[in-house]
Structure formats: C-alpha cells, structure tokens
Amino acid sequence: MFDRVPRIKVSIRGMSPLRSTISLVFIRNRFCWRACWARPAGATVPGDTLNALLLVAVCFLTVGCGRGALESGGDADEMVMFGETARIRTLDPVRAGDVASSMAIGRIYETLLEYHYLDRPYRVMPALAAEMPAISDDGLTYTFRIRPGIYFQDDPAFVETDGVGRELTAEDFVYGIKRVADAKNASTGFWAFNNRIVGLDEFREISTSDEPTDYDRVVEGLRALDRYTLQIQLKRPFPQLLWILTMHYAAAVPREAVDYYGADFRRNPVGTGPYILRSWRPNYRIEFVRNPKWAETGRIERYPTTGAPGDAEAGLLDAAGEQIPFIDRVVNYVVGDSSTQWLMFLRGQFEVSGISRDNWDAVLSDDRGLTPELEERVIQMVTSPTLIMHYYAFNMLDPVVGQSDNPEIDRRNRLLRQALTSAFNTKVWEEFHHHRLRRPAGPIPEGVAGYREREMRFPFDLDRARELLAEAGYPDGRDPATGRRLQIELDLGSADNPEVRQSTELMASFMNEIGVVIVPNYNNWPTFLEKIQRGQVQMFGVGWVADYPDAENFLQLFYGPNRSPGPNHAKYENAEFDRLYEQAREMHDSPERTDIYQEMADIVVEDAVWIFRGQPLAYGLYHHWLKNYKRHDFPYTMTKYYRIDTEARRRWQQQYGR
C-alpha cells in the first residue's frame, strides 16, 4: 500500500512560473521511495535547476532504499558499465524465459551460433562452431565442427582438475539440449525442439518417469560423433533451426557443474562466455567481470569489420577488428520503478534508458527531437523498428467479412475488407501514438530475413474506400436489404487498458467516415483468447512478437493448417498461399526464398486478411560515453561489443552528475 507525502514545489527567483515550477512527488512503499517529476507542457528547465532537483530526488531514493551512494565509474583504469535490470529469476539456461535472466545468461554462456551484431536484416554467424554447419541435401542433417581450444571458466565443479576449467566438447551441447528436453527440469524452452529432432521427444517422454533421467541414453538425432563434431538430425526440414541455435536453450553446459551444484546450479553458472558472475544479490544487484580464462588460454574474439549501411558514418565501425570484450566489469541494479530508473539515468548512474509513457513529454520536443535540457547533457537517442506486428484481423469464417465457397459472396466480402483497410487513416493513427509506430505495408516487418520495402496496396483514401464499399454491396455503408448502416463487431482484450479503448474509438471513427459502424467488445484476456480460438468474433485486435527474425515466423499466421488453436487465428485459407508456404519453409535464406515470401505477402494483402495497425518503434536513450551501441532485438550476448569512454564519463559527471 502506498502512502503519499507532501508535494514539493521548487520556484526559481526571477523566472516565470511556467519555467520555474517542477513537481516532485515522493511515494513510499515498504521497500523504497519513488520519485515522479513532471515538466509543464512547453516548459524548459535550466541545467542548474535540473541538477538541483535530481540531487534532491536521488538523495531521497538512495537513502530511502537503504543503498547509500551507488557506484559511479570504478577505478580510472577500469572500464565499468552500469545498468538497470528486472528481477533475475535464474541463471540456469534451461529455465530462463524472461529477458532479464536471458541477458545475464548471455554474458556467461555461449552457443554454436550467434547474431551478427551490426548487420540488418539479422543473420547468424559461428560462435562456438568453427564454421557454419554442413547441411545435407535433404535438409535433415546438420553437422557442426566445434572450435578447439575453448575452455570453461575455472570452477570448483571441475573436481578432477582441482577446479581448473576444462575444454569444451561436442558432448556439452548434447547434454545442454537434453536438459531442455528433460521433463523434470520444466524447461521454458522445449518448444524450440519439440517434434524437431529425431528421438528427442522419446527421450522427453521417458524422462517423465519417477526414475532419475538417464543422460547417457542415446538420442538418435543428437550425437557427438567425436570430441569436436556435433550432428543433429531432424524429422523434417527446418531451416529456422539456425536461429534456434543462437538461443540460450542451446548453450553448452558442463555436466560436472549441474551434478556438483544440484538444485543450486541456478545460482552458480559455469560457462565459456566473456564474463563470469562475481556476485548476485537477488532483487538488488548483480555483477559480472571479465572471464580470466580467455586471457589464460589465449582466446581472441574481435569486433565486426562490416555492418549495415550508415554504421560507419555513425562510428559503429571505429573499433573494427579490435579485440573484445572492451568492458572489464558489468554492474546491474534492480530498479522496478520507471521514474526512479529515469532519474538515475539523468544522474549518469546508468548508461542506457528507455522512455516510458510517463516521461514522454519530458524527453521529446515538439519536433520529435530531444528537449534542450537533454541535448545540453549530450544524451543520444536511437530509434528503430521492433519485430512486433499489431493488427486487426477478420474472422474468415464470418458470413459478412470472411471467405465463402460462393465466388460472388467471396468477392464482395473481400471488397468490403479492402474498403475498411482503405478507410484506415495512417497519418492520424501514427500521430495518436506519438509516432512510436509505423504502419507496415504488408505482413512482413522491417528487420527480418525476407523483408523488402513495398508500396501500400490500400493506402488511406476515403474516395476509394467508398467505391470499394459500394462494389461490395454497401453504398454509403448501408445494407440495401435492411436500409440500415452496416455494423461490424470488434473484439479486444485488455479490457481495463484505457489506451486500448482510446485507440479503438479512433479506429471506429475512421470507419464511421464511410458509414460503417464498429461495435467494440472488451474482454478480459483469457475470454478474448477463447473467443478467438472458437471463432466467436467478427474482427479482433491483437499483435505478434517475433520468435526469430525470419519472415516465416509471421507468414505462418496465414497458413491454412495452422488455423486455431494454432497461430492462424483469422482462420484464413488460400491454396496458393499454402503451396508457397510449404515450398518456402524448407528453403534456406536466399533471393529465391525472398521472392516467394513476397508472393505470399501479395496474396495476403490483396485478400485483406488484416488491417495492419503498426510496427512499434523502440525509442532508447544512452549517454555519449557509451560507444559501439546499436539497438538489437536479440541483445542477449551483445555486451561484449560495448565500450565506455571513461574520461568522457568522468568529465560529464563532474559537470552534471554532482
């Protein structure tokens, strides 16, 4: 329960009330103080005033939380990165299903493959594999050569070598994936391998017994052929396996560590990565330091020498070819409140920050740039699309908006969907969302393999929308059979979310322009999903977050056999689309596959299965002393590329952080 204490108003003599008043509200709960600050619309805050306010706020926060002064940069010759993290649940790769745990694990453990840091669209490259795998002609067998000379960190778990870390072998990958499949581990990641690898599902079924799981049991499709050779055999082609093998669920795990620590393995990670765990106080602080094993064994990894267009101009290739990691120590604090985290970022205690809705007006000026206060502090902003797609979908089983076996009805219903799509006002929609999203022109979001820029087939055009509506049999939005305006029901989840209601009202106003009435139905989330699966909706609003950066992950949402309860919730069917999908899903990334993806996208757009609402943009802030920083949708192993200009941070903190 929260208790409010008096609001503090600070007035600066000789300044107008608009410029001089800032509100700080301190809210206390049983754990710590929280500070919220608000700048009146259109107001600016001089740097000295902002410094004073931040000092007051942070003093409350650090004392109230019982933490005292936080670290500010480490020794002069030490490169330290400070950041915020959510509560970390585990450091066991098989049980981590949240971002915070995955970020921590990605600094310690490594996988066969990893994402190229700079390239867009995303692509994978070898990590612990010596090269990309040899793939059989039928696409069923993947053979990896493991890099020799890679060692696990020193740890007491290596009893036979008196705590000295041993060399990585192919068997460590076999063991790691078997742990994911072991039902006793209740792994959050078995979906990645379910019904994929020959014999692995049978291994999982046997592991459900009360007997201890036999990790020596042979899995036909998962074998270490020798010390440095791993072979994976699939039941059917699955080119997306390469993406899966970048995930921590596929990390190399030493069996000795799991046996040694038992249930406490979650707190005692043992990996081959660039960092090792120094300390972890759950719900407060976690710290990583360089893995000394890299220097001891002569392991050398290097910063990328190539990147995406514009990377060189942005300075992202200044470190090309240099040895990584650059940072000596990484310290993350658990700060659950966004306002507190924001104030700590402004004080220079964190290198990176997101922008919450509460702080939106305090960060961005009217022209969408940073406010003068933040520009004065040399704070940098980065904006990029996320791999998320929000959309309104039509239920293709509905007699009014869906598909039909009757060609004429099918044609008219398709024209209706096209009309509604053409009535969707892109400019107003993006303005409503403060330009934090872009309306995509098709079902493939920017940033995934298979994406190509395309023109919008049905852009906002009220005249065209009315023409299409008349062709569909609803002149001026009225049904000639009844003389009444056409009504379409739109179901949504998150019934208690005011932003959902506001955006729905805006969407309904778009359709009202052509005479169509949208009737919203707000549901709680479980009821909403159940109605979608049962087809008890006419239209519905939902979103999809990429599992991996391949267009296939989005195109599967239109594949006929994937109809609910699968991910094709629109229950869309198109024989030509299905044929192309079945052809493309067994192909590796290539111009030919991308051509097929575009054909599939054309079909979906022409059939107007969805009204594409938006691909959200990620807005992030970082201090200028953080170098080599580029936003990544899969950032779990990217800390090794960052660099801190310690002298620039010291000078900034002397000026602004006091």
- CATH number of the domain to which 244 belongs: 3.40.190.10
Top-confidence residue, 338 or 111: 111
Find the range with the poorest average confidence among 123-132, 251-260, 475-484. Answer: 475-484
Burial class (CB in 10 A: 0-12, 13-18, 19+), 76: exposed
The residue length of the chain stands at 658
Which amino acid makes up residue 302?
R
Q: Is residue 374 part of a domain?
A: no
pLDDT tens-digit series, residues 255-287: 999 999 999 999 999 999 999 999 999 989 999
Last residue of a domain, one of 314, 329, 344: 329
Beta-strand (E) ranges in 594-636? Answer: 610-623, 626-627
Find the range with the poorest average confidence among 46-60, 183-197, 459-473, 519-533. Answer: 46-60
Q: Are residues 272 and 135 in the same domain?
A: yes
Q: Are residues 325 and 424 in the same domain?
A: no
Give me the pLDDT at residue 24, please. Answer: 40
Q: Are residues 18 and 85 in the same domain?
A: no
For 338-362, what is the mean pLDDT? 84
Q: Is residue 654 part of a domain?
A: no
Burial class (CB in 10 A: 0-12, 13-18, 19+), 599: middle
Top-confidence residue, 85 or 110: 110
CATH code of the domain in which 493 resides: 3.10.105.10
Name the 3-class secondary structure at 156: coil
Give me the pLDDT at residue 595, please. Answer: 96
Domain limits for position 160: 80-329
CA dihedral 210, 211, 216, 219 (to 10 degrees): -40
**C-alpha closest to that of 643 among 658, 657, 624:** 624
Q: Are residues 250 and 110 in the same domain?
A: yes
Q: Are residues 85 and 60 in the same domain?
A: no
Find the range with the poorest average confidence among 27-36, 143-152, 316-325. Answer: 27-36
* Pair 120, 238: CB distance under 8 Å: no
Give me the pLDDT at residue 19, please. Answer: 32
How remote is the C-alpha of 111 from its chain's centroid? 19
Q: Are residues 52 and 109 in the same domain?
A: no
Query: Roughly what angle, to the nearest 10 degrees, separates helices 575-584 and 591-607?
Result: 160
Give, in order, the Cα–Cα distances in Å from 292 to each of 3, 69, 275, 329, 555.
48, 29, 8, 12, 45
Take residue 118 and report the two structure tokens written for it.
């700079």
Alpha-carbon gap, residue 123 to 379, rounded angstroms: 30
Q: Are residues 176 and 315 in the same domain?
A: yes
Alpha-carbon gap, residue 195 to 175, rounded angstroms: 18
* Pair 515, 485: CB distance under 8 Å: yes
Give me the pLDDT at residue 18, please. Answer: 28
**Cβ count near 353 (within 10 Å):** 23
Q: Is residue 485 part of a domain?
A: yes
Confidence of residue 544 (pLDDT cuts 50, 70, 90): confident
Give me the pLDDT at residue 419, please. Answer: 98
pLDDT tens-digit series, residues 382-438: 888 789 899 999 999 999 999 999 999 999 999 999 999 999 999 999 988 878 889
Phi, psi for residue 66 in degrees, rounded to 5: 75, 25
For 488-492, what is the mean pLDDT? 96
Give me the pLDDT at residue 27, please. Answer: 35
Burial class (CB in 10 A: 0-12, 13-18, 19+), 434: middle
For 526-554, what is the mean pLDDT? 89
Confidence of residue 481 (pLDDT cuts 50, 70, 90): confident
List of residues 6+ apart from 301 with CB closer than 8 A:
274, 294, 323, 324, 325, 640
Give me the pLDDT at residue 658, please. Answer: 64
Confidence of residue 41 (pLDDT cuts 50, 70, 90): very low
**Averaged confidence pLDDT in the chain:** 87
Take residue 434 and report the two structure tokens written for it.
């403060």
Total domains in the fold of the chain: 3
**Cβ count near 129 (within 10 Å):** 20
The pTM of this model reads 0.73
Find the range with the poorest average confidence among 150-154, 423-427, 490-494. Answer: 490-494
CA dihedral 373, 379, 380, 384 (to 10 degrees): -70
Give me the pLDDT at residue 359, please. Answer: 75
Q: Is residue 487 part of a domain?
A: yes
Give me the pLDDT at residue 589, please. Answer: 85
Confidence of residue 357 (pLDDT cuts 50, 70, 90): low
Alpha-carbon gap, residue 521 to 234, rounded angstroms: 44
Phi, psi for residue 136 in degrees, rounded to 5: -65, 160
Give me the pLDDT at residue 1, please. Answer: 25
**pLDDT at 57 exceeding the cut of 80:** no
Alpha-carbon gap, residue 285 to 330, rounded angstroms: 11
Strand partners, 39: none
Q: Are residues 152 and 298 in the same domain?
A: yes
Confidence of residue 508 (pLDDT cuts 50, 70, 90): very high
Alpha-carbon gap, residue 628 to 643, rounded angstroms: 6
Alpha-helix runs per DSSP H in 285-393: 292-297, 338-346, 360-363, 372-376
Q: Are residues 393 and 286 in the same domain?
A: no
The pairing of strands 487-492 and 539-545 is: parallel
- DSSP assignment of 74-141: --TT--EEEEEE-----S-TTT--SHHHHHHHHHH---SEEE-SS-SS--EEESSBSSSPEE-TTS-E
For 515-539, what is the mean pLDDT? 90
Q: Are residues 269 and 416 in the same domain?
A: no
Give me the pLDDT at residue 51, please. Answer: 52
Q: Is residue 643 part of a domain?
A: no
Alpha-carbon gap, residue 150 to 145, rounded angstroms: 13
**pLDDT at 190 exceeding the cut of 80:** yes
| Exposure class string for 558-578: b at 16+ Cβ within 10 A, else e | bbeebbbeeebbbbbbbeebb
Alpha-carbon gap, residue 175 to 169, rounded angstroms: 10
Q: Are residues 517 and 610 in the same domain?
A: yes
**C-alpha closest to that of 277 among 105, 60, 421:** 105
Q: Is residue 215 part of a domain?
A: yes
Give me the pLDDT at residue 36, please. Answer: 41
Give me the pLDDT at residue 25, please. Answer: 39
Residue given tokens 């072979």 in the structure block: 231
Q: Are residues 40 and 182 in the same domain?
A: no
Take residue 166 and report the two structure tokens written for it.
């041993």
Give me the pLDDT at residue 76, please. Answer: 61
* Pair 254, 166: CB distance under 8 Å: yes
Top-confidence residue, 410 or 49: 410
Find the range with the poorest average confidence among 371-380, 460-469, 583-592. Answer: 583-592
Q: Is residue 628 part of a domain?
A: no
Top-confidence residue, 46 or 624: 624
Q: Is residue 563 part of a domain?
A: yes
